[in-house]
Amino acid sequence: MTLADTVKQDLHSAMRSGEKDRVGALRLVLSELQKAAKEGDADELAILRRERKRRLESATAFRGAGREELAAGEELEARLIETYLPAELPDDSLRAIVAAAVAETGAQSQQEMGQVMKAAMAVVDGRADGKRVSALVREALSH
């Protein structure tokens, strides 16, 4: 069963139980998944990560403009999307991956950060945000 199928089933159950906010968010997610499938993009998790990131950025923008109710709605959608994503790696596991990537590439300075990021992100495989990985790589290379 694909992720789109799971979202579709959850959408139907949300419609039956009358959860309007959840229905709206699931429709948007399903629409993005279906659009990407038509375009030949089969990486459903990348699509969900992108959509979650958009929601969080929108929430920040709404908060900055003093629109708290809209920010709360965007954050609700982001949390809903997170339920379909794999669990984030804990910091200690992420540090171990970064340390292994530094050792593998032999990087010793900030100029070699790209090589380390490439190696680390291949292992992380979407289970952590790139910003978190980048911060840990910078920390590892600054020693």
**89 burial class (0-12, 13-18, 19+ CB within 10 angstroms)?**
buried
| Average pLDDT over every residue of 20-48 | 86
pTM of the complete model: 0.72
- Mean pLDDT, all residues of the chain: 88
> Can you tell me the mean pLDDT for 33-45?
83
Mean pLDDT on 17-32: 90
Given this model, what pLDDT does residue 78 score? 92
Residues of the chain with CATH 1.10.10.410: 91-141
CA–CA distance, 26 with 84 (Å, rounded to integer): 11
CATH of 3-82, one of 3.20.20.140, 1.20.1440.230, 1.10.1510.10, 1.25.40.10: 1.10.1510.10
Sorted by sequence, the CB contacts under 8 Å of residue 112 that are 6+ apart come out as: 105, 141
Q: How far apart are CA 143 and CA 109, in angstroms?
A: 9
Residue 104: pLDDT band with limits 50, 70, 90: confident
Class of domain 91-141: mainly alpha
